[in-house]
Structure 1
Amino acid sequence: MIHDDKIDGGKGFDWGKASEDYARFRDIYPPEFYQKLLDAGICMKGQKVLDLGTGTGVLPRNLYGCGALFTGADISEEQIGQARQLCAEADMDIPFLCCPAEELPFPDDSFDAVTACQCFFYFNHETLAPKLYHMIKPGGLMAVMYLAWLPGEDAIAGASEKLVLRYNPSWSGCGEYRHPIEIPDVYSAYFQLESSEVFDLRIPFTKESWNGRMKACRGIGASLSPEKTADFEKEHLALLNKIAPENFSVLHYAAAAVLKSKKTSSF
């Protein structure tokens, strides 16, 4: 169980509780999302890439065919278990490590690049920034990615979000709006910002998959009891039957930031 005063008012959450729904319903990033990494020269053939907060291995699994040599790390044993199972089913050779990002054991110059998708704000950056500086090779890259629905502009997302808040008023993942990824000042000693952009995406869903996506958010599956989660699912599906067609899309925004290591030599 994770407790952080800056997240959900300090209410505990555990991604392991939502890992099965996460594996089924959160692999939603479209090709243009991943293309941003490739356009930046990240996750290319032969590169050694560390994916922080890998969850069920969504990013390395989707880019596996590009030829990078991925390693995934996550704090949740259940998430790592799902990642390993999905890779085994797809015959993908991706090693995964269950470990907090701040305690990763890799030596200096282990990776050409590091990715962090949907997880960057969870980390202790005072500890992580210098660790990444040492683990990434000279001139190596780090990409931070994020995707969120826009409840103020999309009626289905807005209605679903209101229901989440009824079940979990302390959830602080609500009210998203377009903004670039904030890179804490501590990184400026080790990395330089190469690019930062924000762009819109429409993500397709069915009633089932959108319900699953909402269940797999931090405010529901990772925080509530199984009984409360089941109550939410029943009420959410009833809501969707009233307001949504069987197939629809939800407006999201995505943000991407690419940083380059200031390290010029391994010595």
Structure 2
Amino acid sequence: MTGPDWSQTSADYARHRQGFPPRFYDLIAREGVFAPGMRVLDLGTGTGTVARGLAARGAEVLGLDPARGQIEAARRLAEAEGLSARVRFEEGLAERTGQPDAAFDLVVAAQCWHWFDRALAAAEARRVLRPGGVLLICHHDWLPLPGSVAHATEFLIEAHNPRWRMGRGTGFYPAWATDMAVAGFSGLGFGGFDHDAAYSRTDWRGRIRASAGVGGALDPGAVGRFDAELAAMLDARFPAEPLVVPHRVFAIWARRGEGGA
């Protein structure tokens, strides 16, 4: 897994980034992707948002992430939520998990598939899934609609970090279906919905600091300068509390066949 140094921003990530809303968990349960008692491997777990969400709903979960700071934060949060008996976190890579063959019912990649070597990660997911097991790739993205706080924030990120190229997203990822098919998965399904996430201005600033283009990429001084400018922009243009930020949840899944690996 390559990309930002998420350990630089683990504190903001754990405190300010909102996880998937409850409706997401209802969706994957209704579609037969998830059920209590499943053995789940959460790739690129970050601070364990989805891993903890699934553990709270009855799964046995292992979360892997290459960033030590993220794993430490995930463990603290799981302990605080009383979930340490159901979820554990280890440093590890999506492409080489070190897990046994056919050990899991569900492999999840939430908000992270684009950081992986996708072909290797898909092949590894197939290897560690039992026959009939599911690979689930999901995203929870803000929508930069014109005139919105997310739209204005993206322009500010680009001004401070011209190398950032992740703006103007739509929240849809059709290429992930090809990744699954090439790796030998079948029975493709997908779902999603739009919803409004409410952020205080303080939390929105923390959310953006904990993003790939800011805290994951810039040095602390540059992050501080960005944050000060974002605070000024919010005061001037978006003074209401809370900020209402449109988001899109996108989920796509497929099953490992009953044949050999």
- With normalisation by structure 1, the TM-score equals 0.90
Which sits farther off after the overlay, 37-46 or 112-121?
A: 37-46
* Matches of 2:119 and 2:137, distance apart in 1: 17
Indicate which of 64, 89, 114 corresponds to 2:80: 89
* Matches of 2:50 and 2:82, distance apart in 1: 16
* Matches of 1:101 and 1:134, distance apart in 2: 12
Gaps of 5+ in 2: none
* Matches of 2:93 and 2:162, distance apart in 1: 28
Matched to 2:154, the amino acid is E
Indicate which of 153, 159, 165 corresponds to 2:158: 165
* Matches of 1:204 and 1:165, distance apart in 2: 24
How large is the RMSD of aligned CA atoms in angstroms?
1.8
* Matches of 1:15 and 1:234, distance apart in 2: 21
Deviation at 1:121, TM superposition (A): 1.1
Question: Residue in 2 aligned with 1:256?
Answer: 251
Percent identity between the two aligned chains? 32
* Matches of 1:48 and 1:62, distance apart in 2: 14
Answer whether contact 2:185 2:256 (CA < 8 A) is retained: yes
**Equivalences for residues 78-117 of structure 1 within 5 A:** 78-93=69-84, 94-117=87-110
Deviation at 1:128, TM superposition (A): 2.1
Which sits farther off after the overlay, 257-266 or 207-216?
A: 257-266
* Matches of 1:162 and 1:18, distance apart in 2: 21
Deviation at 1:191, TM superposition (A): 0.4
Residue 58, structure 1, aligned to residue 49, structure 2: yes
Residue 126, structure 1, aligned to residue 96, structure 2: no
Q: Deviations over 1:137-183 (max 9, x none)?
A: 01111111012112134511111111111100110111112424422
Deviation at 1:240, TM superposition (A): 0.6
Aligned residues: 257
Answer whether contact 2:105 2:133 (CA < 8 A) is retained: yes
Answer whether contact 1:190 1:263 (CA < 8 A) is retained: no
Gaps of 5+ in 1: 4-12
Q: Deviations over 1:90-142 (max 9, x none)?
A: 22121111011111111111001111100011111232222221210011111
Question: Residue in 2 aligned with 1:227?
Answer: 221
Q: Which runs of 4+ in 1 moved over 6 A?
A: none
Answer whether contact 1:153 1:251 (CA < 8 A) is retained: no
**Equivalences for residues 168-247 of structure 1 within 5 A:** 168-183=161-176, 185-188=178-181, 189-244=183-238, 245-247=240-242
Indicate which of 55, 60, 63 corresponds to 1:72: 63
Question: Residue in 2 aligned with 1:7?
Answer: none
